[in-house]
Structure 1
Amino acid sequence: MRAAFAACGFVFFGNKSKRAKKAFCVKSGKNIKQNGEMASMSEKTIISIGGGELRERTTLKIDEYIANLAKLRAGEKRANALFIPTASHDFMPYYNTFHKVYTGVFDIKTDVALCAYREIDPVKMKEKFDKADMIYVGGGDTVYMMQRWKETGLLPLIADAYERGVILCGLSAGAICWFSDIYTDSAASGNGDKYSMYSGLGWIKGKISPHYGARMVDFDKILCYNNYCAYGLEDDSAIVIRNGSVAGALTSGGTAWKIVSENGALKKTAVTLLK
């Protein structure tokens, strides 16, 4: 499959990925096996979901993978998930939906970390983070979210959890904030609905776009004449990042693309699904 516009060439590799098989997991000493992939319990893990509807459960296969990973980290105790809805300005119906999925479907205990309209209580908030086996960051305004994390002191708590091996995951804003450069819109920046490149937290090197199916043309134009490595995540797709490197992809129907720009040409490869 090939496509081109202006002077920029595009080369695509790989067909649309088939729906991922049901996740399975077994415990083995200090390691875990998730979808056939071995991972240390102390590994730093980020799972970035390109988009989808949690309420309509379009990402359920990906959520199942995350839930299984959290349960393995928890061991004999019930797994705990901490939901961070800062990007949606602490929209509580979003948390209620998360609770219905992760508690109702996967039997994981959930809590929420609120900081959009209040200062945090450092002691109580630290207790929430200390209990968490996984942290799920919801979608919304990415730039506002990162600013608010820095203003309230939530960011150091997230960073500490990541270093301790707590699983970080998120959708849209919660998927891209970890990267060096992110393609998003932001009311907080004054650009309204206009999509632009912004600086992310920089924990993961590279550029990234969520909702890639809808943003492909514009994001590809940005990459075209620069020698970049980037990721385009379609809705209902995800990448699993271990210790700073992409280990593979997950799907609930969408495809995660690795995009390499060289001398005006883009090479796109579907990220290999974790088996």
Structure 2
Amino acid sequence: MPADAPTILATSGGVVPSPRNKWSVGPLTRYAVDLAGVTGRAPRVCFLATACGDQPAVIRDFYDMAQEAGFHGNHLSLFAMPNVDDVRAHLLGQDVVWVWGGSVAGLLAMWELHGVGDVMREAWEAGVVLTGVSAGSICWHSGGTTDSFGPDLRAVTNGLGLLPYSNGVHYDSEEQRRPLFQQLIADGTLPTGYATDDGVGLHYQGTALVEALSEQDGKAAYLVERGPGGNAVETRLDTRLLT
């Protein structure tokens, strides 16, 4: 059951601590699933942990979360080989694709190798809701800031470009994120972009930002643009608190 329009919820959150499992599905991820509009059955949610090398423990944690949340969970892994015969059919058969964090540079390289990026665009255009956290947020954009190459953050500029903006994640919790994101936009390395504090997500329909959403009170999203003097101009966006 496709969403009404191509839909992405790009986040710096989506999971919350759990008394029973390592994590529970957070309000942002639940909202992404709601956007798929599934009724009468469990929503099909495919999990990709490519950015952390398809770590078995992370995939196991997903299945715990999915069972607790009432999702029909499944996953796509690429290491050491794809776990499904037809990646395209598998992804197009989902209601929601949920991409985990880690190395966005590694994720993009593996997706390019296996043709996953092209399939993601097809799935997005078909109404499969795309969501994710950190690397799973940056990947849908043109690029952003990443620690994929080491502890000193660098730019990544080869995102899938479904969204023609750059993306800054963990904007309030990692000290290098905000100044580097602003610098890269100011000098033209990255285009105009949107950034999210931890626990905040960006809901897009097509390439238009619909609204910013938060799992935590007081957190926000930001628009960062290159100003007329070649400096970065940051605007805090109205951010709706999810319960």
Q: Does TM, scored on the shorter chain, surpass 0.5? A: yes
Counterparts of 1:154-173 in structure 2 under 5 Å? 154-173=116-135
Give the residue type in structure 2 aligned to 1:208.
N
Quick one: which of 63, 75, 79 aligns to 1:99? 63
Counterparts of 1:233-248 in structure 2 under 5 Å? 233-248=196-211
* Maintained 8 Å contact 1:54/1:98: no
Distance in 2 between residues matched to 1:128 and 1:120, nearest whole Å: 10
Whose relative contact order is higher, 1 or 2, with alpha carbons under 8 Å and at least 6 apart? 1
Seen in structure 2, the aligned counterparts of structure 1 residues 265 and 161 have a Cα distance that, compared at 3 Å, is: closer
Quick one: which of 217, 224, 229 aligns to 2:192? 229
1:209 lines up with 2:168 in the alignment: yes
Distance in 1 between residues matched to 2:129 and 2:241, nearest whole Å: 17
Distance in 2 between residues matched to 1:274 and 1:55, nearest whole Å: 18
Aligned to 1:11: none
Which structure has the bigger radius of gyration? Answer: 1
Identical columns (%): 22
Give the residue type in structure 2 aligned to 1:267.
E
Q: Post-superposition shift, 1:142?
A: 0.4
Seen in structure 2, the aligned counterparts of structure 1 residues 267 and 193 have a Cα distance that, compared at 3 Å, is: closer
- For normalisation by structure 2, the TM-score amounts to 0.84
Quick one: which of 70, 93, 99 aligns to 1:131? 93
Bigger fraction of residues in strand? 1
Q: Post-superposition shift, 1:166?
A: 0.3
Aligned length: 229
Aligned to 2:221: 256
* Maintained 8 Å contact 1:120/1:152: no
Quick one: which of 19, 27, 33 aligns to 1:67? 33
RMSD, aligned CA: 2.5
Counterparts of 1:1-275 in structure 2 under 5 Å? 41-51=3-13, 54=16, 56=18, 57=23, 60-70=26-36, 72=37, 74-105=38-69, 107-119=70-82, 121-123=84-86, 125-186=87-148, 191-199=149-157, 200-213=159-172, 214=174, 215-226=177-188, 228-253=191-216, 254-262=219-227, 263=229, 264-273=231-240
- For normalisation by structure 1, the TM-score amounts to 0.75
